Amino acid sequence: MQSNQELEKLIDKYLKGEANSDEIDIVERFFDSFSSRPNLLNTLNDEVREALKTRIHTRIMDRLAVKKKRTFSFSQIAAAAAVLCIALASLYLYKIKSPNNQEITLLNGQQRQIVLDDGTKITLNASSKIIYPTSFKDSSTREVTLIGEAFFDVKKDPSKPFLIHTPRMEISVLGTAFNVRDYTEENNAETALVRGKVSIWKTGANDQKFILKPKEKFVITKVNESEEKSPSTTAKMVSTPIVVAIQPFSVSEKDGSALETEWLLNRMTIQDERLLDIALKLERMYGVEIKITNKSIASQRYSATFENEQLENILKALQTVNYFQIKKTGKNQLQLF
């Protein structure tokens, strides 16, 4: 086992592109093991972990940017990107290091309400994970880590800012209500502010912070290479183009809801979306597994709104627009073709 000092030197060589093949193998195995052995993070102190986050983010991009001097194969670039994603995701997930942390992971079809030690209320959506301390008493900040989606109603405490870490966003608030959505399998990640004020920035870019006002949302979008991108609004992370934007959203005068928070009402609005993407929403909401075996069916688009509706009725309604067949293949398993 490498000592901490040796490991730090090895990681630094790797990120500088100075490691030999054996050293590269050691570092990549170390990062790969995060997914199954998260306690490995505890071998590094807090300062080193923070330094790693910055160095991994910037120096791997630097290495890829100098391909004019050196030719990289696709597999090399993909490997570097994979190491970066594993490392950063692991650092975010275990950023709040404390034996007193609580961790809640929900499956598809589940929701849960949580009240934190300070009185902050959180509604956690399906297929989401949240990590938070049992008490904020001895800390100068209130920090939680989220992967997935949750609605926060933060108790105001000017002496202790409330910080939320997600894979793609960092959010700082004092007391406010907002929705955060960052599922790693989705192209978009967003924070929608209902009331109050929040400071927000893209993870790894804390020098570019944005202030949200009510009825505004901060959106991070992965852009397909074929889409047009404005040089002023596009930033690249490894090989994936990323667009950051502040967008307005509407709140209903009738019930105070918005598209961004409608999941709290068991409502789902579909706006010109592919059946493939709709199926993912249905899986989360109803706790089922939906497999689409026909590519042409998967690309069919729909628009509709459903509220407190049974899954069977939703699928039948979609069938009337663009026909497809439904087959039950097991308990909570469906096939569309």
| Residue 38 domain flag | yes
| Residue 129 domain flag | yes
Rounded Cα–Cα distance for residues 167 and 184 (Å): 7
* Pair 89, 105 in one domain: no
pTM exceeding the 0.75 threshold for the entire prediction: no
Percent of the chain, pLDDT > 70? 69
Which pLDDT tens digit goes with each residue over 203-256?
Answer: 888 889 999 999 999 999 987 644 433 333 333 334 457 899 999 999 888 877
Q: Is the pLDDT of residue 81 over 60?
A: no
C-beta contacts of 299-302 below 8 A and 24+ residues apart: 299/274, 299/275, 300/274, 300/275, 300/324, 301/272, 301/273, 301/274, 301/275, 302/270, 302/272, 302/273, 302/275, 302/278
Rounded Cα–Cα distance for residues 247 and 227 (Å): 19
Q: Which pLDDT belongs to residue 316? A: 95
Average pLDDT across the chain, whole number: 79
Asked if residues 169 and 201 have their Cβ atoms less than 8 Å apart, the reply is yes
Which pLDDT tens digit goes with each residue over 246-293?
Answer: 999 998 888 778 999 999 999 999 999 999 999 999 999 999 999 999
Percent of the chain, pLDDT > 90? 57
Q: Which pLDDT belongs to residue 23? A: 76
Which pLDDT tens digit goes with each residue over 153-197?
Answer: 999 998 999 999 999 999 999 889 999 999 988 989 999 999 999
* Pair 113, 37 in one domain: no
| Residue 257 domain flag | no
Please give the single-letter amino acid code of residue 267.
R
Domain boundary residue, one of 197, 216, 248:
248
| Residue 88 domain flag | yes
Q: Is the pLDDT of residue 136 over 50?
A: yes
* Backbone φ and ψ of 74, nearest 5°: -60, -40
Output the six-digit token pair for 205: 């870019």
* Pair 85, 130 in one domain: no
Domain boundary residue, one of 93, 115, 149:
93
